[in-house]
Structure 1
Amino acid sequence: MNQSAYAAAGLYAALNGLILLWLTMATALVRRKHMVLIGDGGVARLHRTMRGHANAIENIPIMLVLLGFAAALGAPAVAIHVLGCAFTFGRAVHAWHFTHERAAQWQRATGFGLSVLTITVAALGVLGHALALL
């Protein structure tokens, strides 16, 4: 068992958990400001913040599963760090974009691009390792 690979996966799980908490709190603050309890209440700012939170919920769990399986299948800690760091940076930039009323489009594009790239590489890596062990 490669403890450092598991520790690296745990690090990125924790950091991405904090990103999710940030998005949760940002959504709650906008809800409170506009007094909307359910849905977006037709408030464009709330819709935007909720969409950023939903996108994180759609992407973060699968990446964390892939990092955990990569560690379990023997991936080196450096591979977990490269993928985890790129993914986490992308998610943070993406979250920044959605938690601000006006944000540069490059933030969204960078966050999306890094998420897709790292999930793809991690999925292919885990698939390759899993098939090699069958």
Structure 2
Amino acid sequence: MLKITAIYAAILTFVYVKLTLNVINLRRQNEVSLGDGGRDDLQQAIRSHGNFAEYVPLGLILLGCLEANHIHWTIVLLLGGLFTAGRLYYAKAFLEATPNIELRVQGMKYTLWGLQALAATNVIALIIQKIL
């Protein structure tokens, strides 16, 4: 069972729901049923939600592959934590009253570092397992 991946997937799901509710609330406040209605705040909320939905599946797949290939749990935990921290920072940047650009940039850095580390660790692990 992919216990560590399941924990991170659950945490990220709660953030996804929060971002979804943020979009729904802004649509209701601004009486917009489709699109952003020309509202900058709604456009930012929609893109923040979309950005989250674009990156999280790949991160969880890579994390699950590490765990399924029996990579030591500390490596899985640390890399999942790096990726998740990035997604949390990015989401928080857009859930503030005024978007926090520094937090947004830091969130994307951690997200991309996490994805690269997850991908590289998967490749290295597969090469080592094939050789041994």
Q: Using structure 1 for the length normalisation, give the TM-score.
A: 0.91
Q: What are the within-5 Å matches in structure 2 for residues 4-83 of structure 1?
A: 6-83=2-79
RMSD: 1.3
Amino acid at match of 1:109: V
Structure 2 residue runs of 5 or longer lacking an equivalent are: none
Kept in 1, the 8 Å contact 2:79–2:118? The answer is: yes
User: What's the offset of the Cα at 1:130?
Assistant: 2.5
Amino acid at match of 2:30: H
User: What's the offset of the Cα at 1:124?
Assistant: 0.8
Amino acid at match of 2:5: A
Kept in 2, the 8 Å contact 1:24–1:53? The answer is: yes
Among candidates 45, 69, 88, match of residue 84 of structure 2:
88
Higher RCO (CA 8 Å, separation ≥ 6 residues): 1
1:119 matched residue in structure 2: 115
The reply to whether residue 101 of structure 1 matches residue 97 of structure 2 is yes
User: What's the offset of the Cα at 1:104?
Assistant: 2.6
User: What's the offset of the Cα at 1:96?
Assistant: 1.1
Task: Give the whole-Å Cα distance in 2 for the aligned partners of 1:87 and 1:117.
Answer: 7
Task: Give the whole-Å Cα distance in 2 for the aligned partners of 1:125 and 1:87.
Answer: 13
Structure 1 residue runs of 5 or longer lacking an equivalent are: none
User: What's the offset of the Cα at 1:50?
Assistant: 0.5
User: What's the offset of the Cα at 1:90?
Assistant: 1.6
User: What's the offset of the Cα at 1:101?
Assistant: 3.5
Identity of aligned residues (%): 26
Kept in 2, the 8 Å contact 1:40–1:46? The answer is: yes
